Amino acid sequence: MSACESAERRVFLKTTGVLTGVLALGSPLALLAPSRSWALDLTALTSEQGRVLLAAARTLLPHDRLEDVAYAAVVNSADQDAARDAELKKSLTEGIAALGKGFADADEPTRIAALGKLEPTPFFQQLRVRSIQVLYATPLAHALLGYEGEAFSKGGYLARGFNDLRWLPEVPLVDAGPVPGAGS
């Protein structure tokens, strides 16, 4: 066995779990992803723990049109931090166990009830904050939600769709207020 093969084997053996999925054929996210299938190597969490965290993040922040791969970013973040922090790994492991067996496959009302029982715990609060911070920072979520990124470098929002609220009725000109850049 060569040194390179030995190193690759050690890296492979460090993997504790794997989380996998497939993007839906008609998904707009499939256009952004390099492949329809995806996999996430977990180093601190098992595959089942990863599935539970993914289901918990999806339950906390439900978006029907957002694929599991976007929620996998939350699991990846938790796994990476847990690999470096034994206390966090313990908290995640205990929190996942407290959600109960079969949580990942349970229906939504059952998952909501299980998470509701853990709401006052540090596990829940950490997962909630991590889910918000990580999920809404992913390009996949940006694409689905229509966020085009910061606007300062592109001249600001005023000239880039500030008034593109198509779902609201037009405001009569008399009620619109002063127009920026127009003389008094």
Average pLDDT for the chain: 80
Burial grade of 128 (CB within 10 A; 0-12, 13-18, 19 or more): middle
* Domain presence at residue 11: no
**Domain span holding position 126:** 17-175
* Domain presence at residue 1: no
* Domain presence at residue 152: yes
- Widest pairwise Cα distance in the chain: 81
pTM summary value: 0.70
Domain count, the chain: 1
Cα–Cα distance for residue pair 92/77, rounded to 1 Å: 12
Higher pLDDT, 42 or 31: 42
- The pLDDT of residue 52 is above 90: yes
Residue positions counted in the chain: 184
Burial grade of 142 (CB within 10 A; 0-12, 13-18, 19 or more): middle
* Domain presence at residue 76: yes
Q: For residue 16, what pLDDT band results from cuts at 50, 70 and 90?
A: low
* Domain presence at residue 5: no
Cα–Cα distance for residue pair 96/51, rounded to 1 Å: 10
* Domain presence at residue 89: yes
**Neighbour count for residue 104 (Cβ, 10 Å):** 18
* Domain presence at residue 67: yes
Cα–Cα distance for residue pair 172/82, rounded to 1 Å: 55
Average pLDDT over residues 45-59: 94
The tens digit of pLDDT for each residue in 120-152 reads 999 999 999 999 999 999 888 888 787 777 777
Q: Which two tokens stand for residue 113?
A: 């009830």
* Domain presence at residue 184: no
